[in-house]
Copies of this chain bind each other. A is one copy, B any other.
């Protein structure tokens, strides 16, 4: 029989969200009448913006005509979208990113999963703890780790603790590593890094020859004006950082699928012989060989986000979700929970009461309030004792969830 990739067998249990689904399905089966409120997976609920839908309709109609039909698009995305992104997400904030440094994809999960492929198998990795599981699992699958210990930590990965003590802002690793995954506003803790904190990371990366893999999927949720939205707002980041962006949480694209990655021309790695090699060219080669571009109607929909009408719509949706975040924070605060996040991020990170284990609290929350959240331990050892609630819900569902939590956990 063909030899399989043994690294897959090192993966602990299932990927986090399927495990949550499994438990929810089991609960649903034994409690068919329970009206479960899902605040776990962080999925948007508001309708796809009108301007996005209009653009998608136009694109579909265009594909129905002899003159307008388009087949294979550019692997890296259509220029109309790359230019809209360069202008709307960067130039408008005083950041210079060229359209040809932008690679459009079918979603940020794919990008943040695939980026590790252009680096050596021997490349060393650091990740915050807790962390979005995709960063870790994809490196396990690529053979960059040993097996997991009892806490689910893999040998060979440097974990950077994010704790109440450090305000969930990890410190750079004590030894040099090749790659560091960072995500701000953070999933799952909701923490956000200011200019000084990101500046320290950029300085450290340049000093140590590391590449920062910066996930900015939640940048739209930054409310405080002085906070940076892009790593490239930090001087020197073009020589040390790749940035990931997503239309999922900003424009309701979780089911429509579009994201992008920025790889500056200056960014380099080194080959076996020590020679510098541009990462932009490596990622272009990967895209050319393994990807055939994002769906054309989807790219048209994404471009509509940068019109005035589109911008208004996504900001209105953001405000809706952030009002939910405030409501969750306030409700939990009144109940005496210790809460973090939810200010510049759509996630509230709460301390489980009485030091309960986070999967135990997950089960209690599901059984007693019929509310689904995400156990912090699912994001890493330092997530133990914490629990993530997502602000991506209907206003009335959020209100109902808080009421039920009050009844279940209030004194």
Tell yes or no: A307 within 8 A of B by CB.
Answer: no
Tell yes or no: A225 within 8 A of B by CB.
Answer: no
- Looking at A120, A123, A134, the one whose CB has the most chain B CB atoms below 10 A away is A120
Tell yes or no: A41 within 8 A of B by CB.
Answer: yes
Tell yes or no: A356 within 8 A of B by CB.
Answer: no
CB-based contact A209/B270 at 8 Å: no
CB-based contact A48/B63 at 8 Å: yes
Determine which of B2, B73, B288, B295 lies in contact with A211 in the assembled complex, contact meaning CB atoms within 8 Å: B2
CB-based contact B50/A286 at 8 Å: no
Q: Tell me, rounded to whole Å, the shortest Cβ–Cβ distance linking A288 to chain B.
A: 4
CB-based contact B271/A6 at 8 Å: yes
* Contacts of A9-47 to chain B: CB distance below 8 A: 9, 11, 14-15, 17-18, 41, 43-47
* Contacts of A177-225 to chain B: CB distance below 8 A: 178-179, 209-211
Tell yes or no: A57 within 8 A of B by CB.
Answer: yes
**A107-115, A334-342, A376-384: which one contacts chain B?**
A107-115
CB-based contact A292/B109 at 8 Å: yes
CB-based contact A288/B14 at 8 Å: yes
CB-based contact B69/A289 at 8 Å: no
CA gap between A252 and B60 in the complex, in Å: 12
- Copies of this protein in the assembly total 2
CB-based contact A114/B6 at 8 Å: no
CA gap between A122 and B114 in the complex, in Å: 21
CB-based contact B4/A271 at 8 Å: yes
* Contacts of A128-159 to chain B: CB distance below 8 A: 133-134, 137-138, 141, 143
Residue of B nearest to A65 (CB): B47
Q: Tell me, rounded to whole Å, the shortest Cβ–Cβ distance linking A374 to chain B.
A: 14
Tell yes or no: A352 within 8 A of B by CB.
Answer: no
| 13 further interface pairs, Cβ-Cβ under 8 Å (given A2-B123, A113-B290) | A1-B209, A3-B119, A3-B122, A3-B271, A4-B118, A4-B282, A6-B271, A11-B285, A18-B288, A47-B68, A48-B60, A110-B292, A255-B293
Tell yes or no: A84 within 8 A of B by CB.
Answer: no
- Looking at A1, A106, A286, the one whose CB has the most chain B CB atoms below 10 A away is A1
Tell yes or no: A61 within 8 A of B by CB.
Answer: yes
Tell yes or no: A309 within 8 A of B by CB.
Answer: no
Residues of B within 8 A of A70 (CB): 255
CB-based contact B63/A43 at 8 Å: no
Tell yes or no: A272 within 8 A of B by CB.
Answer: yes
CB-based contact B47/A53 at 8 Å: no
CB-based contact B291/A109 at 8 Å: yes
Residues of B within 8 A of A279 (CB): 4
Residues of B within 8 A of A50 (CB): 64
CB-based contact B106/A106 at 8 Å: yes
- Looking at A5, A11, A279, the one whose CB has the most chain B CB atoms below 10 A away is A5
Tell yes or no: A294 within 8 A of B by CB.
Answer: yes
